[in-house]
Amino acid sequence: MSDDSQRLPVTTDQDVVRVRQLVRTVAVAVKLSLVDQTKIVTAASELARNTLVYGGGGEVEVSRVQNDRRAGIRIVFADQGPGIIDLELALTDGYTTGGGLGLGLSGARRLVDEFEIDTEPGKGTTITIVKWCR
């Protein structure tokens, strides 16, 4: 499904900046509209920061994807942190355990076309997002 994919570690603030830049580059390459580029980069920034802050660091994989109709970009955020105990709560606007605004997860979900969370307490969290060209 994906032709080429690129991986980046997420262990520092600087890595979060690198994730934003890579996502921007790929979003431009798959010809997402300017607004959609902005949305996917913003969502990636939120999720990469969560990987760093709550997941204790991890890895991001950015791929170009293609189905029979459209091109798109898929990003996978993976960590081996504590996992998300109450997923429904974590996805609620305004819920935070870290003194944030609690908008990262719920906001990122609104900004993308596909959003999938795989999390297990004590094992870690993997979040996959996809944005398709219109």
Partner 1 sequence: MERVPVLKIGDILLVSIQIDMEDQVALQLQEDLAERIVATGVHGVIIDISALDIVDSFVGRTIAAIASVSRVLDAETVVVGMRPAVAITLVELGLSLPGVRTALNVELGIALLGRRETVTIDGDDEPADDGSDPAAVHTS
Ligand X SMILES: Nc1ncnc2c1ncn2[C@@H]1O[C@H](COP(=O)(O)OP(=O)(O)OP(=O)(O)O)[C@@H](O)[C@H]1O
CA distance 125 to 127: 7
104 touching Mg ion, by CB under 5 A: yes
The answer for residues whose C-beta is within 8 angstroms of residue 90's C-beta and 6 or more apart is 84, 105
57 touching partner 1, by CB under 8 A: no
Among 5, 11, 106, 128, binds ligand X (CB under 6 A): 106
Please choose, from the candidates 54, 60, 56, 57, the residue with its C-alpha nearest in 3D space to the C-alpha of residue 104: 54
Judged by beta carbon distances under 5 to 8 A according to partner kind, the member of ligand X, Mg ion, partner 1, none in contact with residue 17 is partner 1
**Closer Cβ to partner 1, 33 or 67, answer by number:** 33
66 touching ligand X, by CB under 6 A: no
CA torsion 43-134-118-57 (nearest 10°) is -30
123 touching ligand X, by CB under 6 A: no
Choices 12-20, 21-29, 35-43, 80-88 (CB under 6 A): range interacting with ligand X? 80-88
33 CB-contact burial (10 Å; exposed 0-12 / middle 13-18 / buried 19+) = exposed
Tell me, by CB under 6 A, how many residues bind ligand X: 23
CA distance 18 to 15: 5
Interacting residues toward ligand X by CB under 6 A: 46, 50-51, 54-55, 79, 81-84, 90, 95-98, 100-106, 125
